[in-house]
Amino acid sequence: MNLIIKTLSIAALAAILVTSCENKKTEMKTERAESKLAIKKVIQNNNPEKGKNVPNNLVCMVNDVYMGKEQIEVPFEGKMYYGCCNMCKEKIPKDESARYATDPHSLKKISKADAYIVVIGNNNEVAYFENEENYRKFLEGNS
């Protein structure tokens, strides 16, 4: 009898673990879909002019896209980064590429939290510059 109860308990525990893993996968897919949907809505409803400097707090620094509305604050190592969803919030502290970019003019690695951010693409993609002067020099060099 005890063997049957133990076997049933193990089977029930295994079922719970499998269900939990499947729920986590579904949750992650949902978060990714929500992030993509948020980006699409911004692109459709709020296209800033290309070349326009935009505030850091309106940019998803994981997706490198101007979102046009206040993003989720993610403090890390004394700096403030921004993301559009919980997946971004989790990724910023773990993934250096979410926090750093290369200035297209100087080719220096810079913190996105300190960057001069400019919309560069038709889909609100952004570029990160060390400062406005580097952005201006970049424009002059690529005219």
What is the rounded CA–CA span in Å between residue 35 and residue 31? 6
User: DSSP label at 125?
Assistant: B
pLDDT at residue 142, as a whole number: 76
| Cβ-proximal residues to 68 (8 Å cutoff; 6+ apart), any chain | 42, 45, 46, 48, 58, 124
Whole-number Cα distances in Å, 130 to 62, 94, 105, 112: 18, 23, 9, 9
Neighbours of 105 (CB within 10 A): 20
Whole-number Cα distances in Å, 118 to 30, 40, 132, 134: 29, 19, 9, 11
What is the rounded CA–CA span in Å between residue 90 and residue 19? 23
Return the minimum-mean-pLDDT range out of 29-33, 86-90, 129-133: 29-33
What's the average model confidence in pLDDT over 10-27? Answer: 57
Residue 49 pLDDT class (50, 70, 90 cuts): confident
pLDDT at residue 130, as a whole number: 97
